[in-house]
Structure 1
Amino acid sequence: MTSEPDPFPRPPLDTAALDAVLVRPGGLWRRIEVLPETGSTNTDLAARAAAGAPHGSVLVTEHQTAGKGRLGRGFSVPPRAALTVSLLVRPDAPVSSLSWLSPLMGVAGVGAVRRLSGVKASLKWPNDVIVPAGLRSGAARSDGKLAGILAEVDFSSGSPAVVVGIGLNVSQSRSELPVDNAVSLRGEGSAALDRGALLAAVLGEFEELYTVWTAAGGDAEASGLASAYRDTCATLGRPVRVHLPGGRVLEGTATGVDSEARLLVRGPDGERALSAGDVVHVRPGG
C-alpha cells in the first residue's frame, strides 16, 4: 500500500534560486543566506550588523526556535512551516525617520500576501499583518494574526544599522499555531504555500518601497509610504482600547497615523499621538 502524498508539503528553500532571482547588480540585496535552524534571525543578523555585515544582507531560517516579538515575547514554529526572515539596511536617512522601517515591512508583507495568495491581508498598527474578522474564511469573529514584524536599530558603528524581521505563517495547521488569534495562509484557504515565492515577493516589495523612501530622504509622506500604510491599516477608523504601561487604558477611536508613524487616538480628553514604544497592546474597542 502506498501512502497518500502530503497535501501540504514543506520543501526546503532553494538558496541558489533565491540568489538568482533577488541578487543583481545595482539591487538592494547582497546575499540570501538560509540557515537550517536558529534561535532568532533578528538576533543573529543584529550580531552580524554590529560586526560590520553589509547593507542588503538577508538571513532566513528553515526552523526558528526562539523568535523575538514585541516587548520580548518569544515564539517558535515547526520546521519549514513559516517564512522567517530578517534583513539588514543601513539607510542614509534621519534617525527620526527610522520608525517607518517596521511599517514599510508591513506594507511589503501585505502586498506580497495579497498578490500571491489572494488572502485579504491588512495591517494592525503598529506591526502585525492580519486578516480582518470580516474577511476571514469561515465565520471568524476576530482578526487573525498572520505575521509579526520587529525592527531593531544598532548605532555601534556610528551610523544606524536596522534589522527588520518578519515571521509569516504559511502552512501551519490550527494546532501548530502559537496563540489562539494566529492564522496561517493554509488555514485561510490559500493554495499559494511556496515559501520561496513568498520570500521573493516580500523582498521585492520591500526593495521597491525602500528605494523610493530613501530617495525621498526618509520622508514617509513625500515617498508615498505613509499613504500606502494608511490605505492598508485596518486599525484606522475603529474603536480601540489601548493598553499602556502601568495598567492604564485609553479608549477612543483610531483616527489616523501621523508623519512619525504614531497612532492618533481620539479619546475623552482629545486626540493623542502614541508611538509603538508607548503601547503594550491595541485591542478592538466598542
Structure 2
Amino acid sequence: MTRLTTEKLSAGYGEHLIVKDLNLALPDGRITALVGANGSGKSTILKTIGRLLRPRTGEVYLDGKVIARMSAKEIARQLAILPQNPTSPEGLTVRELVSYGRFPHQSGFHAETREDRRMVEWALAATGMTAFADRPVGQMSGGQRQRAWIAMALAQGTDILLLDEPTTYLDMAHQLEVLNLLERLNRDTGRTIVMVVHDLNQAARFAHYVVAIQHGSATYQGSPREVIHADMLREVFGVLADVVADPRTGAPLCIPYGLVEASEVRDVVV
C-alpha cells in the first residue's frame, strides 16, 4: 500500500503556476529523493504534499484521505515536514527545540507527559544529540543544528518525514553525517522519508526511489538505476555526463563534462 499520493496536482505562487498535473505514488518505508534543476518545482511539490501550500487543482492523499480536509493535528501526528533553513528563538536549547515536536500530541495547557519525555529522549539519542541536549541551538555546528531539527521531527512520532534540502549549506562531512542519519532511521525504524536533494550522486547513494522534476512535472521516476542516466541529465539538467557504477556501492555515479549547447536545448531547465 502507498500511503502518500498525489493526483493531478497543480500548485504555485500568485499567478505563477509551478507544478502541473502531477501524479505521484511515494513508496512506503523507503527513501525518496526529488531531484531537478533550480526552479523546477521540487520544494513546491514538497510543501504542497506537506500542506504548507494549498493546491490550485488536484489532491494530495494520505492513507486515502484528502489531506486538505484533515485537521492540522491529525496530519502532524502522521507526517512531519522540515523546511529549508529553519530558525529557532535565540537561547533555545536543543532539548527545548526537540520538545516542540510533541505539541501535536498535547491538548490545551496540559503539562508534558511521561510519553512526551520518553519520545524526546529517544529522538535525542537516535540523532546523537543527547550530549548536546542542554546547549543552545545557536551554538551548534551546522550538522549538529540539522540533527537537532531532525530530532524535533522525530519526536512527533510520525511514520513519514519530509525534508527540504536537508544538506544545504553544510560541508561534505556534515552532509554525510545527516544523510547517514536518515539512512539509519529508515533502516532501523522503517520510516518513509521524502527529501529534496541537489546532489545526484547523493540521491543515487542514499535513496531507493528517485523522481526527476522538470517544469513541475515528474519526467522520470523509479529506482536510481532507472532514473539516473545520461539522457535524463541531458534533458532535465542540460548537462552532458558519463554515468558509471560507483565502485563501492554499484549505484549510478555522475561525472559531468559539459553543458548542452543552447541550440540543442529542448525544454531543458538550466
TM over 0.5: no
Task: Flag the structure with higher helix content.
Answer: 2
Which structure's relative contact order is higher, taking Cα pairs within 8 Å and 6+ residues apart? 2
TM-score, normalised to structure 2, is 0.28
TM-score, normalised to structure 1, is 0.27
